[in-house]
Amino acid sequence: MIDPSKLPMDCRRVFRDANVVITGGLGFIGSNLALRLLDLGARVILVDSLTPEYGGNLFNVRGFEDRVRVNISDVRDEHSLKYLLQGQDYLFNLAGQTSHMDSMKDPFTDLEINCKAQLSILEVCRRHNPGLKVVYASTRQIYGKPDYLPVDEKHLLRPVDVNGINKMAGEWYHILYNNVYGIRSCALRLTNTYGPRMRVKDARQTFLGIWIRLLLEGKPFEVWEGDQLRDFTFVEDVIDALLLSAGCEDANGNVYNLGGDCTISLKDLAALLVDVNGGGEFRIRPYPADRKPIDIGDYFGDFRRIREDLGWDPKVSLRDGLARTLDYYRERLKHYL
Ligand SMILES: NC(=O)c1ccc[n+]([C@@H]2O[C@H](COP(=O)([O-])OP(=O)(O)OC[C@H]3O[C@@H](n4cnc5c(N)ncnc54)[C@H](O)[C@@H]3O)[C@@H](O)[C@H]2O)c1
């Protein structure tokens, strides 16, 4: 775990005894965030629907289940949210449908969760807890196919799939409620995030998940094309950014890109993963025709804004992060299948 004293904010002072809700709290990023917040002395409620197609997994809280309150409920249910958000200090709003392909096959579910429910969460805040600070997990997917690299926050938003459009709307509702109603909110535009507790069962959350699963099962994994450039953030670094943006008033009303320590092509990433694992095989194949229309080509982000405003920098190298991720799943893969 990253030493909290290395962050440019005294997280222990900010979060000790704070009342915190994490939507999507049984998912990949939410459960890692919960663990960190508990160690900082916060009281944490996890709200999650545990919809099987998403990344929520009760095993994600194994070992600290007695220290959190888990509420299995859906963010589309505004009555539950009204009860859950009252009296809280911070909301990390992470619940989401994350699959791009699923958003194309079933656009209305994506609309309900990533767009409509976001508005109803903010309405609950406005009516019942206007003092709550909200941090929203947005995505670099909202930029679509980049016009230039690295992509900064001024880049045109031109999503290539339904998920990107709904996440964009979800993000902007947060900024609107900050600007118009004073509900202090900000958004992080996450890039590919990886680490312990990610969904590895399939590629719904990230292609890296299925790569890791197949590698650990001793089977070859597929790399599509392989020359596309990407950046990656280790989950502990994402958590630093979430905590900093929750604790810093300067973040209110802002959107921030995250990034990683390097930019890498997918085929070099595959080779690095195999190397870190100490063996394994992958095959390069053409990009599947059904996915090509929503492919964004190369992407890597410019994250100077969050560095300058909040002092955030990614600390975990891709090699170390992959090693830590593989170590986690070597012991626990069966709980994620
Ligand atoms: N992991 C990434 O690479 C990445 C990249 C960009 C953005 N994000 C965003 O970060 C957030 C967290 O993503 P994650 O990677 O932890 O994914 P995840 O699927 O592990 O977590 C999302 C959680 O939300 C829950 N959820 C979904 N719909 C819900 C609903 N209607 N009500 C209550 N809970 C619901 C799921 O059960 C799941 O546990 C998402 O909003 C996602 O869009 C993630």
Q: What is residue 310's predicted lDDT score, i.e. its pLDDT?
A: 96
Please indicate whether residue 301, judged by its CB atom, sits closer than 6 Å to ligand 1: no
Please indicate whether residue 29, judged by its CB atom, sits closer than 6 Å to ligand 1: yes
96 Cα to the center of ligand 1, angstroms: 4
- pLDDT tens digits, one per residue of 227-266: 999 999 999 999 999 999 999 999 999 999 999 999 999 9
Nearest CA residue ID for atom 19, ligand 1? 55
- List the one residue out of 236, 246, 255, 254 whose CA is nearest residue 314: 236
- Measured distance CA(194)–CA(206) in Å, rounded: 8
Mean pLDDT of all residues in 5-9: 72
Please indicate whether residue 183, judged by its CB atom, sits closer than 6 Å to ligand 1: no
pLDDT at residue 5 is higher than 80? no
Residue 8: band (very low, low, confident or very high) from pLDDT cuts 50, 70, 90:
confident
44 Cα to the center of ligand 1, angstroms: 17
Closest atom of ligand 1 to 117 CA is: 31
Please indicate whether residue 27, judged by its CB atom, sits closer than 6 Å to ligand 1: yes
pLDDT at residue 1 is higher than 50? no
- pLDDT tens digits, one per residue of 264-319: 999 999 999 999 999 999 999 999 888 888 889 999 999 999 999 999 999 999 99
Distance of CA 88 to the CA centre of its chain: 22
Whether the full predicted model's pTM is greater than 0.85, yes or no, is yes
Please indicate whether residue 22, judged by its CB atom, sits closer than 6 Å to ligand 1: no
For residue 3 the two structure tokens come to 């030493």
pLDDT at residue 3 is higher than 60? no
What pairs with residue 263 in β-bridges?
231
Percent of the chain with pLDDT over 90: 93
300 Cα to the center of ligand 1, angstroms: 21
- Measured distance CA(201)–CA(189) in Å, rounded: 24
Please indicate whether residue 48, judged by its CB atom, sits closer than 6 Å to ligand 1: yes
138 Cα to the center of ligand 1, angstroms: 10
Instruction: Report which of residues 204 and 70 the model is more confident about.
Output: 70
- pLDDT tens digits, one per residue of 141-166: 999 999 999 999 999 999 999 999 99
- List the one residue out of 278, 277, 274, 236 whose CA is nearest residue 258: 236
Please indicate whether residue 55, judged by its CB atom, sits closer than 6 Å to ligand 1: yes
Nearest CA residue ID for atom 25, ligand 1? 24
Angle at 206 between CA 203 and CA 211, to 5 degrees: 65
95 Cα to the center of ligand 1, angstroms: 5
Closest atom of ligand 1 to 54 CA is: 19
Peptide bond into 150 cis (omega under 30): yes
Nearest CA residue ID for atom 10, ligand 1? 137
55 Cα to the center of ligand 1, angstroms: 7
Contacts of 209 (CB under 8 A, 6+ apart): 198, 199, 200, 201, 202, 203
